[in-house]
A and B are shown apart, each in its own frame.
Chain A
Amino acid sequence: MFHWLEKNPFFFAVGVFVVIAFAGLIEIVPNFAQASRPVIGTAPYSTLELAGRHVYIKNSCNACHSQLIRPFKSETDRYGHYSLSGEYAYDRPFLWGSKRTGPDLHRVGNYRTTDWHENHMKDPAAVVPGSIMPAYKWMFTNKADINTAYAEQLTVAQYFSVPYNKPVPMKDGSTKTVKMGASVAEANALALEQAKEIAADMKDQDVKDAVAAGEIPEIVALIAYMNSLK
């Protein structure tokens, strides 16, 4: 029986496939039904936040920063409450990272402000002496891609029932509705509205001017995303 397998490439390949696919079938597939319910207080990303998330991915921030607080005292002391599965319900892709060259960012919105990020992204070592993080000055001039973020919102709302324009429950018992535009123009207007709030807390005159002129630099979107991580 065994020898037959060794000289019949087709059935050999089938055998190998069964053996290697087994783990995936048992381990991964059945878990899909249950693991993706959001916890209370988790809302989908707004258009600007999603555009900021794209900036985060574009620059591979996840190569050096994790977004996963493990349930150890040393981590909860440093970063806040340990991460819960439901908090990631709207994260496509997940951004846990695999290396902490810099600190974890899963709850960075709780303890860093807009102007802290602004100064830090321009010159990290000036804010944190000894920092080895490179500066990200081009984010102050590159424009955020709002249209792609909007296309992504529409896609996840359609295929994965992400609750845009619907009330989601918050921790204090209230509800929050994350708005999604009905057209590209409206989506851009919504993003700009949120961008103006961010820019009001910033000092860089070029960024302020750009936002006033209706343009959104990448840094504004990125900060919106950072502030949403709580």
Chain B
Amino acid sequence: MENRPLEYDYTVAKMFMLTTVLLGFVGMLIGVILAFELAFPSINTVLGEGLAEYTNFSRLRPLHTDAVIFGFTLSGIFATWYYVGQRVLKVSMAESGFLMFIGKLHFWLYLVGVVAVVVSLFMGITTSKEYAEFEWPIDIAIVVVWVLFGISMFGLIGMRREKSLYISVWYYIATFLGIAMLYLFNNMEVPTMLAASPAGETGFGAWYHSVSMYAGTNDALVQWWYGHNAVAFGFTVPIVAMIYYFLPKESGQAIYSYKLSLLSFWGLMFVYLWAGGHHLLYSTVPDWMQTMGSIFSVVLILPSWGSAINMLLTMKGEWQQVAASPLIKFMVLGSTFYMFSTLEGPIQAIKSVNAIAHFTDWIVGHVHDGVLGWVGFMIMAALYHMAPRVFKREIYSKKLMASQFWMQTLGVVLYFTSMWIAGITQGMMWRAHDEFGNLAYSFIDTVTVLHPYYTIRGVGGLLYLIGFVMFAYNIYKTMTAGRKVEESELQNASPMGA
């Protein structure tokens, strides 16, 4: 080895940045197509009748959710871990050939997994469980990828120079453990390839097919314990990890109260897991679980707002930075959306509200103000902050970033407002009775009325997608054409070109 000063090694972080951008685009593009398919059904056959099987709404819908969750968000989590992890532990991946190898293996296996998922979902190979659609061979691959992530994480922690773990690392550890537990239990299944007929035949039927270990109501219970907490440990916990690092770093302000961040962490860990029952209100699961789901969902406001308020107060006295930097705008609006959707969620979990909201577009709206406004904004902000440090160049264009911010904000607002109206309209129409006590509307009446809102939603989604393309372009130009910068310019606020 030459006698060079030790530097952080971002090789693996860069790889995952690439998939974040790529899969984010794919997931959002499919989302926009789906939105317009609902508004204009003829788009279902946009590539002709022959390919209709692969372009229609129902085949694409799992691809959209999985590309955004396991493509965009998970890549973002990995990319930021391989960046933040080294820095707050003060140890470089260059110091360990083994961890470097594991990191790269982690990336390539992840990529193989992504390809397998895309192909299988297009073919219609799915278990039907939301965000757990993959059949057992892919499940096994995902477990391997996850174990590699764990080795990477705990390996790095094991050789750290900083004794105490920064709050972001807490959240990354929780992400790792939470997803591991949830994924394993929800995907318990028996492969049907093991079946033998009484006549002695074996090995017939699709080799990849499996049957869930749980039936009916139990299956639903496990699935929504998973489904809700996949949101917790995919869309909340790791994103909080990101903001606790990137906002203080970019603004140069210490976290408003580090103690509050520690408290909120334990609160969130304990409360979140109970709230899954709110997906099953008025279903056939026992009443006490439904009530428990409702109550804990409301309690969940406290730890969620603990983190969000902590972030906003970090900017106390520094609000001119919000005006000056589009990067900080992304993060501040992100935490505002986080507060907003963690208030909206508990409201929807109240039984009487849920009676109207469940099964409607209001739920879809809720998911999207969280994911577009909070997760999307935060991951893009994280990548914007990382780009100058990883590529040693300044961010290509501040103006482009600012216009992207406003365009996407408008997109999110159009999205959730239209879905509110659509959801509540449909929920009210389903239950409307006339003066004789008969149903006032047939089902199709409650569908056709939604057309304008579906169109507005499509436009909102399209604006967000265009913003994302601007983001991808900006990152690409930063990588190739940004002005080279010195280490000294990278202390806090990211350098940006006009």
Contact = CB atoms under 8 A, between A and B. Distances in A.
Check A-B contact in the complex, CB < 8 A.
yes
Interface of A: 6-7, 9, 12-13, 16-17, 19-24, 27-28, 31-32, 35-36, 54, 57-64, 66, 68, 70-75, 77-78, 83-85, 87-103, 125, 128-138, 145, 147-152, 154-156, 158-160, 181-184, 186-187
Contact of B433 (A74, A102, A128, A186): A74
Contact of B204 (A71, A91, A99, A184): A184
A68 B283 contact: yes
Contact of A150 (B174, B197, B212, B355): B197
Given A35-B217, A128-B444, A132-B38, A138 B177 contact: no
A75 B41 CA distance: 27
B282 A125 contact: no
Contacts of B443: 78, 102-103
Given A74-B439, A138-B52, A145-B206, A183 B197 contact: yes
A186 B480 CA distance: 65
Contacts of B170: 12, 16
B270 A19 contact: yes
B154 A155 contact: no
A75 B197 CA distance: 42
A22 B177 contact: no
Contacts of B204: 147-148, 150-151, 184
Contacts of A63: 57-58, 61-62
B216 A7 contact: no
A57 B174 CA distance: 33
A203 to B, nearest CB: 20
A148 B192 contact: yes
Contacts of A32: 214, 218
Contacts of A88: 215-217, 219-220, 284
B58 A60 contact: yes
A1 to B, nearest CB: 14
Given A74-B433, A152-B209, A31 B221 contact: yes
Contacts of A134: 37, 41, 44-45, 52, 56-58
Contacts of B163: 7
A70 B273 contact: no
Contact of B439 (A66, A77, A136): A77
Contacts of B266: 19
B166 to A, nearest CB: 10
A156 B120 CA distance: 24
Contacts of B201: 183-184
B277 to A, nearest CB: 7
6 contacts: A9-B173, A27-B274, A57-B128, A154-B197, A156-B211, A182-B199
B77 to A, nearest CB: 17
B126 A57 contact: yes
B220 A12 contact: no
Contact of A151 (B37, B126, B195, B212): B195
B49 interface: yes
B71 interface: no
A138 B52 CA distance: 8
Contacts of A19: 266, 269-270
A152 B197 CA distance: 11
B274 A61 contact: no
Nearest to A90: B215
B204 to A, nearest CB: 5
Contact of B52 (A23, A62, A66, A137): A137
B128 A98 contact: no
B215 A94 contact: yes
B128 A20 contact: no
B221 A83 contact: no
B286 A31 contact: yes
Contacts of B274: 23, 27
Nearest to B284: A85
A151 B193 CA distance: 7
A149 to B, nearest CB: 8
A183 B197 CA distance: 6
A28 B222 contact: yes
A64 B444 contact: no
Contacts of B221: 27-28, 31
Nearest to A159: B190
Contact of B218 (A20, A31, A130, A132): A31
Contacts of A36: 215-218
B163 to A, nearest CB: 5
A131 to B, nearest CB: 6
Given A57-B128, A72-B355, A74-B430, A155 B190 contact: yes
Contacts of A138: 52-53
B52 A64 contact: no
Interface stretch (B248-256, B358-366, B389-397, B398-406): B358-366
B198 interface: yes
B154 A9 contact: yes
A156 B124 CA distance: 22
